[in-house]
Amino acid sequence: MHLLYLAANLTVLLATTWCITIPEKRTSVCNGHAELCDRSYGNIIYVGAHDSFAYSTDPLALARDQEIDIPSQLALGNDNDGVLHFCHTSCLLFDGGTVEAYLTTVKTFLDANPNEVLTLIFTNPEGQSLPGQWEPAFSNSGIKDLAYVPPHLPMKQSDWPTLREMIDSGKRVVVFLDAGANGIDGGVVDFILPEFDMVWETP
């Protein structure tokens, strides 16, 4: 009797368990980013390591293409931290570090040299957002507090203050950007000025 009852309970338990819906396993992170999971393979850019097998730490290995081994290359992946970097040609070829780190170094120089007026000219080939990417780097580094904001744009040669006036006011950094800087008239970031409205370069 007890054995039959146990068997009946076991059958019910098994039947109940069998009816539970097993959730479909769904990947939530793909190649390090959740937003890539529903994107087609053909709509994703992959970082490559040219001749990944040709690695050596020997400086005399003149034909080497990599200085780190294959597992390390794979582990590096594409470490895009969402922070603006200064890169020459490509970040894969030369990554000069974050804009904020660069500006922090500049701020150290300016603090040590209070009678210097500095001009910074940056390129923005990817059209990065001024308030979203550029402005935080200036704020966090402290350069924003030193940045000169002109009363109007464009500024003619005779409109600019003297160096003494800029130094005495504490606004002794002028920032130009080659693309995407709408200036105070556009209400984007008032201290990042459109370069080619006021700067001329020799051919």
- Could you list the active site residues? 50, 88
Distance, CA of 27 to CA of 50 (rounded, Å): 29
Bond preceding residue 125 cis, omega within 30 of 0 = no
Q: How far apart are CA 121 and CA 199, in angstroms?
A: 10
DSSP assigned state of 60: T
- The token pair that represents 192 in the structure block: 């990042």
The answer to whether the beta carbons of residues 183 and 191 sit under 8 Å apart is: no
